[in-house]
A and B are shown apart, each in its own frame.
Chain A
Amino acid sequence: MKRNRLLAVLAVSALVLAACTSDSDTTTTTASDSTTTVGETTTTEGGSSGEKVVIIGTTDSIANLDPADAYAVHDWEIIRNTGMALTKFVPGGIEVQPGIAESWEPNEDGTVYTFTLRDDVKFGDGTDLTAELYVRHLNRMLNLSGTGSGGVAGALGTPYIACVTPGAEEGQCDEWGVKALDERTVEITLTGAYAYFPQLVATAAYVPSHPSFPEDSLVEIPTEFPYYGVGPWILESYTPGEQSVFVQNPHFFGDKPKVDRIIVRYYSEASQLVAALAGGDIDIAWRSVTEPQLLETLDGTDGVVSAVVPGGGIRYFIMNHNLEPTDDLLVRQAIAASIDRDEIVDRAFGGNAEPLYSMVPPGFLGANEAFDDKYQAPNLDMARDLLEEAGYSEDNPLQLQIDYPPNRYGGVVQDAIAIVKEQLEATGMIEVETVATEWATYLGEQINGSYAMGFLGWFFDFPDSSNYVEPWLYSGGLGSGVTTQDNEPTPNFTTPEMIELNQQAATELDLDARAALYEQIQELWAEDVVTIPLWFEPERIFYRDYITGDSSYDNEETLNIGATTEFNWVVLDTNK
C-alpha cells in the first residue's frame, strides 16, 4: 500500500497550482524529440568493458509488477522506469508533462477527458501501443485490481472513472467509461470534475501493461524475463532477494538513457545498505535511510554525497472516535495540547525532520498550522484543564494505550514513541502504555478500529491537498472511526461539515476559494482532532560522487528526485 510512504512538498504550491489550472494550455504541447532507436534487444553479456553501469541499493523489495494492481513505492519505481503513463512528472519537479499521450483535453464541464497517444510508442519487444491496447489495460486495472496484493484501483481508479453500465450486483461494473475512439485516441469519463486528473494519470496505475498479460488475471511477478514496458528500460532479470537488472529499451521513443545498465541490489537492513555504500559495493543508496546515526555515518564518508529530497512522508497519530478514551473530544484535545513536536524532532531525529502542525504539509494549497494556532503545544496547563474537565485528576489519571508498528517506518519510531510517552506523562494526569505490534498484524487491527490511538505514516498518491484530507474522511477513515465502513459519515461527530467542505473543495476551480476551503477543513480538523500530525520526514538519497544527475532539470543534487520522490533513472550518468 502506498499510503505509508508519502509525500510532501515544501514550496511547490505554485507548481501544483500551475499544473492544476493549465490543462487546457498544455493540450497542445507535444512531446519532446523522439529519437527512436530500433534494433535488436541487447543481449546480456554483463561486465563487458566500456559499458556504463549504475548500481542502486535499496531495502525495498519487489511485491507486484503488474501496473494494473501494484501499489508500493519500489514497484511503482520499476513500473514507471520500464513503462510510462499517459502523463509524467518532469524529473526533479512536480509539473505534469506529456507521457505516452502527446496531448489531452477535458470537455466543458471537466468530466470527460480525451487523450491522444503518440504514434511511436512501442513495448520493449517491438509491439505497438494502440488506443485499444491502452483501454484493455485500463479495464484490467479497474476490474482486476484488488484480486492481488496491491489494489491500486480502489484508490486511484474506481473512485474517479465512471461506470457506464453497472453490474448485476452492487459494486460491480460491466462497462467502464473508457473508450478507444480510434487508433490513437482514448476517452475517459469521470465521476466528477477533478482538476487534478492529469496528475492522477501520471501514476503507475495508468502505465500500460504488456498485451501478453492476461485479461482475466494479474501477473504480479512475471515468471519469464525480460519484462517489457513502453519506457526507457527493460527489466532483464530478477533474482529475488539479490538483484534486478535493467537494460535499455531499443524501441523507446524518447531520449536514450546515458548508462547502459541499471542494477538494483536488495538489502535486508538500512545499516547494511549504508555499509554497502560506504564500502563501495553500490553507487547509490535510495530510500529509507532515516536513522540519524546512519546519516552521520554517510555524511562522514569520503566520496559519498548526501542530499535531502524535497519530498517525503508525514507521520501522525490516528485517533479513534468510537473507542474509549479517545471518543472524548476533551481527551483528544488534551493529547494534542501535550505533544511537543520540536522535542521529537530534536531527540529522535537529531533535527533531521520537520515538525508538522497540520495534515496538509507546508507548500500545498491552503496549508496552515492549525494545530499550533489552536494548542500552542506543548501547553501543559491547557492539557491539564481539559483533562480536569473530562473528569481526570492526578489521583485518577487517564489510562492511555498507544499502539505502533516498531519497524515499518524505521527503528527511530520506537524512540519517538518513547518521547511522546514522556510528554504525555509530564501532565501528571495521563498514564501511557506503549504497545509495539508487527506491521502485518498492526495494519489489520488498525483497519478494524481496535486501537484508540495508533501511529501511521502517509505519502501522497498524487500531489494535491485533497490527498491529505479525503483518505481519513472516507473508506472507514483508515480506522479513525470518523466515518463508518460504508463511507457514511457518523452523525455524532463534526465530520458532515468537513465532508461537505471537502466535496466543495474537490470540484472548486477557483484557487483562492479552494485554498480557503482547505484552511477551514484544517481548522475543523484541529478542533475535532481527527488525527494528530507529528512530523514531516524528508527522504534522502546518497550516492558516490562520480554519479551525476541531469543539470537541465531541477534538483540535480538529489539526482533529480523532486517532491514526487519519483526516481527517474534516465537522468543518471556515471564517471567511474
Chain B
Amino acid sequence: MDTERLLPEAPQPEPLPDWEEDLARVGLVRRAFMARRWYGPDWWFVVIGSVIVIFLTLVALFPQWFAPHDPSANVGPRNLAPGEKPDVEVLVSLEGSGVANLRDLASGDREPFGVVVGTPSSEIARAAADTIGEETGERIRLRIQRFDTLEEMLGAVADGSVRAGAGSNIAIEEVLDDYPGVTIQGSLEGAEVTADTSFILGTNQLGQDVLSRLIWGTRVAFLVGFAAAAFALAIGLPLGLVSGFTGGKLDRVLSLIMDSIYSFPGLVLAIAIAAVLGASIFNVVVAIAVVYIPTYFRIVRGQTLAIKEAVFVEAARSIGARSWEILWKYIFPNVIPSVAIIFSVNVADAILTGAGLSFLGLGLPPHIPDWGIDLARGQVAIQTSWWLVTFPGLAVMFVVLTLTMLGEGLIEIINPRLRDR
C-alpha cells in the first residue's frame, strides 16, 4: 500500500506558538520528554513504537541470543501444540518372541517393525536403534511397516507379521487387553527424554521450533523490509531532489515515468520481477524496491519544489551559493523528516509485500526461516495445527503495526495542519 498518501503536503510556514519556542531552548532529550504534554497519546505511540522497533532490531541482528533452538534443526516431534508434551513411546512385542529390547533385533537383516502413520514412533524407534547400534557396534536395521491405526499395528504384532512395534504408552495401554500375548516391553531408549520437552509455540511439520523460527524470521523480515526501503530511498531520493530542483524537460520525463510506475499495482510488478529473477533474498529486495522508488521520488520532488521557493533558499541564492550547495545544505535537510516517515511506513509495507510474494511461492528460497514462507506452508495446517499459521501471521501484523504506528504518530506530530489551535 502506498505511503505517501498518509503524508501531509509540504510543511507550510506558520507562526510558531510560544510553547514551541520554549521547546527550542531546551536540550534534545528534555525536549522529547516535554513534548508529550502537547502531543498526548501520539507522543506515546512514537515512544512505544520506537522502543519496540529498537528491540526488534536487536532481535533481528542477534537472533541467536533470543532463539532457544536452531530454526532449521529437528528438535522435537512433528506438529507438537504449544506447551504440549509428547507421550512416552514404548516397545511392544509378542510374549515369548524373544524380543524384550531393541537390541534383540540386531540380526544383520531388516526386521519388520510396526508403527502407526502420523505418530513419532518410527522416528524415535530408529533413533533408539541407531544409538544402541553405536554403543554395541552392531547395526540394528528395522524394516518399518506403517499401519493406519494402532489396532492394525497391534494385530500385526499379535499375529507375528512384525517382530515388534512401537507406539504411545497411554494409547496402547487402553487397548492392550484386546491383544492377548502382546506385552509392553518398556520405553524406547531416549523416549523418556523427548517426552519431557515441550515448546512454547509448538513445533512445525518438520519438528522445528516455531518460536525459534519466528525469532530468526525477524531477521529476514527486517532485512527485506529495510533493504528494500533503503534501496528505493537511495534511488528515489536523489532523483527526486535533482528532478524537483532542476525542473524542465528532465523533470517532466522523470515524473512521467515515475507516475506511470506509481499508478500500477505494485504487487503485480513485484511478482513479474521476482519471477524473472528467481528466488533469493537479494532478488526479492530488488523486486520490492523497484515498486517503492516512485513513492520517494514523488514526495521528495514535491517538497523540493516547495522549499526551493522559500525565502531562505532565495536568500542563499542571492549570496551566491552554488546549486549543489543549496541542494545539500538547505533543501536536503528539510526533506529528511517526511522521508523518515515514509521510510518507517515503507519498511512495514515491504514486509507485507514480501510475505505476499512468499505466499505465492515467488519470494525467498524455501529453506530460509521466513514468516511468509511459514505462512504459505502453514496454510495447509490451518485446521489441524492452528499455531503454524497463527503465529507467523501475528508476527507480520505486530511488526507492520508497530512501524505504522510509529509513522502515524510522527505524522500527527509533524503535520502542523492537524494541531490543536
Interface residues, chain A, with chain B CB atoms under 8 Å away: 269-271, 274-275, 278, 291-294, 296-297, 300, 342-343, 345-348, 350-352, 354-355, 372, 376, 406-407, 411, 414-415, 417-419, 421-422, 434-438, 441
Contacts and interface: CB of A to CB of B under 8 A. Distances in A.
Contacts of B79: 293, 350
Nearest to A296: B384
B74 A347 contact: yes
Contact of B123 (A274, A294, A343): A343
Given A278-B383, A293-B388, 11 more contacts: A293-B384, A296-B384, A300-B383, A347-B207, A348-B205, A348-B206, A350-B79, A350-B117, A352-B118, A434-B367, A438-B361
B379 A346 contact: no
B385 A351 contact: no
A291 B385 CA distance: 13
B126 A350 contact: no
Interface in B91-120: 110, 115-120
A351 B379 contact: no
Interface of B, secondary structure class, is: loop
A503 to B, nearest CB: 34
A350 B279 contact: no
Contacts of B267: none
B205 A419 contact: no
Contacts of A350: 78-79, 117-118, 205
Given A278-B383, A406-B366, A415-B206, A436 B279 contact: yes
B382 interface: yes
Contacts of A422: 74
A342 B143 CA distance: 9
A229 B80 CA distance: 51
Interface in B355-407: 361, 365-367, 376-377, 379-385, 388
Given A278-B383, A294-B380, A351 B115 contact: yes
Given A414-B367, A435-B365, A297 B383 contact: yes
Q: Which of B115, B116, B118, B142 has the most CB of A within 10 A?
A: B118
Interface string B317-342: 00000000000000000000000000
B144 interface: yes
Contacts of A419: 206
Interface size range of chain B in the complex: 35 or more
Given A293-B79, A346-B122, A438 B275 contact: yes
A407 B365 CA distance: 12
Nearest to B376: A411
Contacts of B110: 372
A117 B119 CA distance: 53
B72 A418 contact: yes
B384 A406 contact: no
Nearest to A301: B383
A418 B126 contact: no
B190 interface: no
Contacts of A437: 278-279
Contacts of B380: 270-271, 274, 291, 293-294, 297, 411
Contacts of B142: 342
A293 B146 contact: no
B85 interface: no
Nearest to A340: B126
Nearest to B381: A293
What 5 A-B pairs come out closest when comparing CB atoms? A351-B117, A293-B381, A414-B366, A291-B380, A297-B383
A441 B278 CA distance: 10
B308 interface: no
Contact of B126 (A270, A293, A343, A372): A343
Contact of A376 (B141, B146, B385): B141
B206 A347 contact: yes
Q: Which of B74, B126, B205, B376 has the most CB of A within 10 A?
A: B205
